[in-house]
Amino acid sequence: MALLVAIPAARAAADPLAPTGRWHAYARGEAATPPMGWNSWNAFGSGIDEEKLLASAQVIRATGLQAKGYRYIDLDDGWWLKRRQPDGQIVIRAANFPSAAMPDGSTSFRPLTDRLHGMGFKAGIYSDIGRNSCAELYSTDGLNQPEGSLAEREVGLYGHVDQDIALYFADWGFDLIKVDACGIRGLTPDSAWVKSGKFRAIAPLVDSDSLGRTNISAVRELYAEVGRALEKHNPDGDFVFSLCLWGAADVRAWAKDLGNMSRTSDDIAPTWGRMLHSFDSAVRRPLYAHPGSWNDPDMLYVGAGDFDADHLVAAKSHFALWAMLNAPLIIGFDMRKAPQPLLDVFGNAAIIALDQDPAGNQAVLAFDSDDLQILVKTLASGDKAVAIFNRTAAPLDARLTAEQLKLRPDADVALTDLWSGRRLTFRGEQPFHLGPRETLIFTASGSRRLADGVYLSEQPGSVNPAVDGIVVPQAEPLVYRPIFWAGTHGTGEHPRYGGWGGAQADQTPYGQTIAVGGQRFDTGIGILANSRLEVRNAGYDRFSALVGVDDSARDRSQPVTFLVYGDGKLLAKSRPVRFGDAPVRLAADVRSAKLIELVARTPKSRRFPDPVAWGEAALRR
Ligand code: GLA
């Protein structure tokens, strides 16, 4: 008898769609707003040393950028000498970091972090989830790479997580760690690296070209272990966990559950195409970013190449777009060389304020095309920010409509240009002319279309797709594909980042207009069936939505039941609805609920579940 009772209870606990009453996106660490600062890599690569790092820190302080929020000074790859044997203690390349040399012959970054802390900064360090770092594997000149025996050159975290995190945080006093993943990519037994005896083979492995050949759950567990060590060795919670898995291993779906910021793409470069690639890798993921867990489209390249002082239009676009994405604003420039116009880009307080807005709502695409995009972000004040982005090298005309802002077309909309401060007012729609690669960026206020509440798609920072319904991760085809590391060798650049079919604000999971039974919705949450959304309720009384199976569904075999929970208790439930049925109105009194959960369930699971719609999903007073 006891056994018969125990089985259903165990099953219920394992049901990922069962309500939990709890918000699961990562909220530990120090990233209530996106981290801001400076990192050595884009400016110096492995040629970093203490003098260069401190010089940039000093400029950031002296120019007032620190006071505007640039707080983290991060050391990237190139700092280590070896892993001492047999105790495994990491040794710093003291020739480049003189303050690290201790009288007893050991090395410590404590003097450097003390110095940075004394200047009012936080300090960041770099490691790898495998045994070897990216520059160890890919550096062409070998500059400043770890030295010694095979074991001494194994400077990454693998097998040393607790030891290294204790050293970096408890002993050395760092506040942030960026954890790369080259050490678990490509080191197969038959690779040239392993066959030559240069590095050891390792598993699990990431195959950046193939989700099917990547052990996603094992990779995730390696990163989760680092997160647990960070929490253990930072009892005050003063840490930032920065994942650098470049969009591989489906990380765009799961990093929000275990770290503070996570790279959504391969490395940015100072070219327009690589910036587009980074931007696209994050722009369709607003529901996967929240206070405490941000999409990271990579560090800023403002100052170099296509974004240098001779290309200020492009530099300003890059900066404005990162702010709209709530991206970490990490400068990657040798600040000793920054001319005033570049300092003015980094220092635009109004644009920084968008990035750092406490509501943490990543911008949502209000208009999407390959040429021009309009991004809208809802601020904590209830006002909007809007960016109109010309992706092309030719001038373009655009019209911004009040509807795109979810503001009433029959009332005034007031815009403030965040570069010039110029104000203008319009009703209905406003024409703009954009130069090549130009981004116009404004704050906007008017009469909200939903006067007594908020559409869920206006507050993605408070909506977590805890279970997004994806059974088989697929690569997203909408990310711009520039030429990458291999140049034009091989067969070209193919879609590589999992996440296609993920939950979307104001779109279906596959980027179409939400529609149910022929009725189209310009607002709502699009998600796959067999999903569970967590929604934070900031004091609203009522939840309502028009739900159904999306018209883009292809499987169509399963009826879908929609359920609304408040703090774990069932509040409302639809009848089972089928493809083609008209939308069903679902409403619930959520007055006493802090956490609302929205579940869409089918009787049988499918490998490729149908898209469903929470049309016009809203919280109202
Ligand atoms: C990878 C990362 C970069 C940088 C280098 C260092 O390429 O994506 O951001 O950290 O490694 O080697």
Q: Is the CB of 50 under 6 A from ligand 1?
A: no
Mean pLDDT of the chain: 96
Torsions phi, psi of 217, nearest 5?
-70, -35
User: In angstroms, what is the span from residue 118 Cα to ligand 1's centroid?
Assistant: 28
Considering just the CA atoms, what is the radius of gyration of the chain in Å? 25
The answer, yes or no, to whether residue 9 has pLDDT greater than 70, is no
Q: Residue range 569-596: average pLDDT?
A: 98
Nearest residue by C-alpha to atom 1 in ligand 1:
134
Ligand 1, atom nearest to 298 Cα: 9
Confidence (pLDDT) at 204: 81
**Ligand 1 lined by 135 (C-beta under 6 Å):** yes
pLDDT score for 2: 39
CA 418 to ligand 1 centroid distance, Å:
32
Confidence of residue 13 (pLDDT cuts 50, 70, 90): low
What is the number of the ligand 1 atom nearest to the C-alpha of 126?
10
Q: What's the pLDDT at 512?
A: 97
Quick one: which of 302, 231, 370, 419 has its CA closest to 42?
Answer: 302
Q: How far is the CA of 177 from the centre of ligand 1 (A)?
A: 13
376-392 confidence digits (pLDDT tens): 999 999 999 999 999 99
Would you say 144 and 95 are in contact if contact means Cβ atoms under 8 Å apart? no
Mean pLDDT of 8-27: 82
CB 327 within 8 A of CB 34: yes
pLDDT tens, residue by residue, 203-247: 888 999 999 999 999 999 999 999 999 999 999 999 999 999 999
The mean-pLDDT minimum among 204-208, 362-366, 400-404, 548-552 falls in: 204-208
Instruction: Tell me if 168 CB under 6 Å of ligand 1.
Output: no
Residue 544 pLDDT > 80, yes or no? Answer: yes
Helix (H) or strand (E) holding 598: strand 595-601
CA of 53 to the centre of ligand 1 (A): 17
Q: Give the C-alpha distances (Å, rounded to integers) separating 159 from 128, 202, 261.
A: 11, 11, 23
In the prediction, which pLDDT does 14 show? 85
Q: Is the CB of 180 under 6 A from ligand 1?
A: yes
Here the tokens at position 186 are: 């490509």
Cβ of 134 less than 6 Å from ligand 1: yes
**Residue of the CA atom closest to atom 8 of ligand 1:** 267
Q: Name the closest-CA residue to atom 9, ligand 1.
A: 267
What value does the mean pLDDT take over residues 285-293? 98
* Contact yes or no for 124/72 (Cβ under 8 A): yes
Q: In the predicted model, is pLDDT for residue 283 greater than 60?
A: yes
241 Cβ below 6 A of ligand 1 = no
Strands of 346-496 (E only): list them.
Answer: 364-367, 372-378, 384-390, 396-401, 413-417, 423-426, 429-434, 439-445, 453-455, 463-467
Q: What is the pLDDT of residues 459-490, one digit of tens each?
A: 999 999 999 999 999 999 999 999 999 899 99
Residue 494 has a CB neighbour count (10 Å cut-off) of 11
Cα(438) to centroid of ligand 1, in Å? 28
C-alpha 543 – ligand 1 centre gap (Å): 44
Per-residue pLDDT at 6 exceeds 50: no
Q: Whose CA is nearest to atom 5 of ligand 1?
A: 134
CA 300 to ligand 1 centroid distance, Å = 13
Letter string b/e over residues 368-386, b meaning 16 or more CB atoms within 10 A of that residue's CB: eeeebbbbbbbbeeebbbb
The pick from 244, 268, 296 for probing ligand 1's pocket by mutation, whose C-beta has the most ligand atoms within 8 angstroms, reads 244
Summarize the confidence of residues 487-515 as an average pLDDT. Answer: 97
Q: Is the CB of 254 under 6 A from ligand 1?
A: no
Atom of ligand 1 nearest to the CA of 135: 12
pLDDT value of residue 4? 40
Task: Give yes or no for residue 164 CB within 6 A of ligand 1.
Answer: no
The alpha helices in 63-166, defined as continuous H runs, are 110-118, 134-138, 161-165
CA distances from 275 to 260, 301, 311, 352 (A): 22, 8, 14, 19
In the reported structure, the alpha carbon of residue 134 is separated from the centroid of ligand 1 by a whole-number distance in angstroms of 6
- Give, using CA atoms, the residue closest to atom 3 of ligand 1: 267
Taking the centre of ligand 1 as the mean of its atom positions, its distance from the CA of residue 39, in whole angstroms, is 11
Does ligand 1 come within 6 angstroms of the Cβ of 616? no
Q: How far apart are CA 177 and CA 162, in angstroms?
A: 14
Q: Ligand 1: distance of its center to the CA of 45 in Å?
A: 9
Spacing, Cα 291 to ligand 1 middle (Å): 25
Residue 57 to residue 119: CA distance in whole angstroms:
9
Beta bridge partners of 431: 399
Of 76, 140, 296, best ligand 1 pocket probe by most atoms within 8 Å of the beta carbon: 76
Q: Using CA positions, which residue lies closest to atom 4 of ligand 1?
A: 41
Q: In what order do the strands lie in the sheet with 463-467?
A: 463-467, 531-536, 595-601, 561-566, 569-573
> For residue 76, which atom of ligand 1 is closest to its CA?
10
Residue from 268, 270, 287 nearest 278 by CA: 268
Per-residue pLDDT tens over the stretch 303-358: 999 999 999 999 999 999 999 999 999 999 999 999 999 999 999 999 999 999 99
What's the pLDDT at 7? Answer: 44
Q: CA 570 to CA 565: how far, in whole Å?
A: 4
Atom 6 in ligand 1: residue holding the nearest Cα: 77
- Ligand 1 contacts CB of residue 97 (under 6 A): no
Cβ(480) to ligand 1 under 6 A? Answer: no
Q: Which atom of ligand 1 is nearest to the CA of 267?
A: 8
Structure tokens at 231: 């929490």
- What kind and span of H or E run contains 534? strand 531-536
Q: Whose CA is nearest to atom 11 of ligand 1?
A: 134
From 77, 133, 136, 242, the mutation candidate for ligand 1 (largest count of ligand atoms within 8 A of CB) is: 77
Asked if the bond preceding 86 is cis, omega within 30° of 0, the reply is yes
Q: Which pLDDT does position 302 carry in this prediction?
A: 98
Q: Residue 3's pLDDT band (boundaries 50, 70, 90)?
A: very low
pLDDT of 31 over the 60 cut: yes
Whole-model pTM: value is 0.97
